[in-house]
A and B are shown apart, each in its own frame.
Chain A
Amino acid sequence: MTHSHTGINRRRFIQIMAAGCACCTGSVSHARLLDYQLMATEIASKTWAVHGATEYFNMGNGGNIVNVAFIEVPDGIVVIDSGPSRRYGEALLSLIENTAPGKPILRVYNTHHHPDHFLGNQVFDPGIIAAPEKVIENINVEGNAFADNMYRLVGDWMRGTKVVAPGLALSDAKEEVGGRQFSLFYLAGHTSADFVIRDDETGVLFSGDLAFLFRAPTTPHADINTWQQAIDTLAATDRSLILPGHGLRDETGESLEQTSDYLSWLNGTLNEAVSFGYTMNEAMALPIPKRFDTLSVVRTEFERSVVHLYPALEESLFPLVDVNQ
């Protein structure tokens, strides 16, 4: 589409500008100004979470609103998701090197195609980045538009970021990486392809954005019924703990319950709003139950969800009328 062409040109322009700036002013001061200050939190044996803010993208957080993780397996490192930008990817590499020095990175999994989860890919060898075929397809189709929008939302943090799709398409239920076995789950609902990884040694389940904890779920590509089925699958899966896509580690399954509860309410509320013929703006102003006060950015995400979910609900809930032409 024309849009993505414009986007590519704009990004080229930004890159040229960025290169120009580096010559005149030196890039070091910029790098110091925009520092993600990533920290690794050990959530299980040799398993670290890198927590982002439970916010929406802004110039302050540079897109770091996501959980990335890495695991030291016998022969090296396995990474789950790569963050929102090239700069994040570079910071992640040095965090890994500081935490587990001298270990080669053997595998990077991408849980789904949302920009905060894969735009750090370019610092890794594409040949070790793996995801289901459908995730790769989604990145190829929508990645550039996402990257464009990220430049607009978080600005200079994105400098030099390019879309790199995983080089390896997965379809097996298990994979052994560097002496560790992983179970792979091919689910959907948050997007058309959501990939969940379990470390079979520690039992940590990396749910991607099928689970959120104390952070409102996002729905730009959601199919809520499918998502609820995926949550049921995860709830029935053996594990020691869940690292949700956003929020702290979850040992009790609370992230699944919270996400499911919010999605049920969201679906019911929007069904009713569309049936009453409310405009999107009227729906956006509807009250949100008290129990969701603990979910950060819930009003913002609810407003976004109205825009995401309304058109399909209108298509399904409004009857066709007989039109004379």
Chain B
Amino acid sequence: MANRRTIKLITLVAVLFSNALITQAYASEIPADPFNSVMWKSMVQRFFPGDQVIFDDRVVVSAPQYAENQFHVPVTVDATALENVEEIVAVADLNPIPHILTVRPDNAHAFIGFRVKLQQSTPIHVGVRTRDGVWHIGGAYVDAAGGGCTAPAMAHGESNWMKYLGETRAIARRSPLGEARMTLRMRHPMDTGLAAGIPAFYLNTMNIKNDAGQSIAELDIYEPVSENPTFTLKPNVSGAAQTLHVSARDTEGNEFDFGLPVPAVSAQ
């Protein structure tokens, strides 16, 4: 008994001690941010939790050095050089609402194109979590004029904007190598709630499934995504002609579902 208790005690002490070590190691292991963001540690704690965060050139984040339009800053994330990607999380450190989106590319390549509203010049960090729990980080710094998140959406300049809510244009294509790619553009004001008198109202989820009902990708979408959200994804699908099923939902519970035909590899 005494022995067992001693062992338990030793184990407990050991666990506590190693936990302390890990915590300490974790705190000191947040790697220095190449963009020198004052919010970097906070971004890691809020959005890239766990025990390993590394900057990784295989997370390629493309964004213009200067934002031509702070309401529509294009960003493309390509982490296809990484295997076993489970989640892609994009944040704009200095936005009043930093979280842009999270993508789980269940049966898609680790690739997404989107556009974001920026409130001021800011680093954009993208964390790509692989199955082993490691966050692989890439980023870009964008110089932008102010006010991208606090101005009313263009839709509010039209009296009948509700009529077009959810109107969608989309295409799916094959590359010369047969790789599928889809781009969709859905009319939605994506109100952040930060423009005077206009409550938050935005598309917050989008799921894409194949014919068999398997998930291609799931997106959690947040306020900073630009008005009329435009997404480009690379579904990992067979060479046959097929239909992708997209369903999106906004914060008011409106649902928007549509089918998107993908041509067969030889059909183009």
Contact = CB atoms under 8 A, between A and B. Distances in A.
Interface of A: 1-3, 6, 148-149, 152, 220, 275-282, 284-285, 303-304, 306-308, 311, 314-315, 317-325
Contact of B145 (A152, A279, A318, A319): A152
Contact of B170 (A306, A308, A318): A318
B225 to A, nearest CB: 14
Contacts of B256: 323-325
Contacts of B147: 2-3, 6
Given A2-B195, A323-B257, A276 B64 contact: no
Interface string B146-170: 1100111000000000000011111
A276 B173 contact: yes
Contacts, number: 109
B173 A149 contact: no
Contact of A320 (B145, B150, B168, B230): B168
Contacts of B63: 281
A278 B76 CA distance: 10
Interface in B161-191: 166-173, 175, 181-185
Nearest to B73: A307
A277 B183 contact: yes
Contact of B64 (A2, A284, A318, A322): A284
B68 A323 contact: no
B211 to A, nearest CB: 16
Contact of B169 (A148, A284, A320): A320
A318 B173 contact: no
Nearest to A322: B258
Contacts of A311: 72, 228
Contacts of A319: 169-171
A280 B173 CA distance: 16
Nearest to A276: B173
B2 interface: no
A324 B258 contact: yes
13 contacts: A1-B152, A277-B172, A277-B183, A279-B183, A281-B63, A307-B74, A314-B185, A318-B184, A319-B171, A320-B168, A320-B169, A321-B168, A323-B167
